[in-house]
Amino acid sequence: MRTTIIILLAFIYGCNDKVKPGVEYYELSSGLGWEAKIKPEQLKKYVTWHEAIDILLSNPSDVEAVGQGHSLQVNVVFKNNDYIQTIEPDIDNIFMVLKKCGKPCAHIQQFTE
């Protein structure tokens, strides 16, 4: 009985589109050394970088598009037209997150300024 429950739980958790965020996503870096040209207080819907990654990866099917600017501002746009904003640690980090996410994030449109 115990084995059946474990197998069932593994099947349920292994078959959803959710990605488990964690340190491996937070520490991705292009290593290009860009510095942010924007401050959190300048962004209307600011969340921290880690919060943004967690939100994006907890329900990638809700995300329509992700875009970055040379200022390191990142906008995550949801299918319901809501959005969040963050500041990535280095240029292109958001695109590295989407690549690592793989299939669950494959549909997300990517844009840059």
Task: Round to whole Å and give the CA distance between 37 and 47.
Answer: 16
Q: Is the pLDDT of residue 110 over 50?
A: yes
Q: Is the pLDDT of residue 15 over 50?
A: no
Stated pTM of the model? 0.80
- Using one digit for the tens of pLDDT, what is the confidence trace for 20-64? 667 789 888 889 999 999 999 999 999 999 999 999 999 999 999
Q: Is the pLDDT of residue 6 over 70?
A: no
What CATH number does domain 2-112 carry, 3.40.50.720, 1.10.150.130, 3.30.720.210, 3.40.50.300? 3.30.720.210
Angle formed at CA 93 by CA 87 and CA 96, multiple of 5 degrees: 145
CA dihedral (27, 86, 108, 104) positive or negative: positive
Task: Round to whole Å and give the CA distance between 67 and 104.
Answer: 17
Q: Is the pLDDT of residue 7 over 60?
A: no
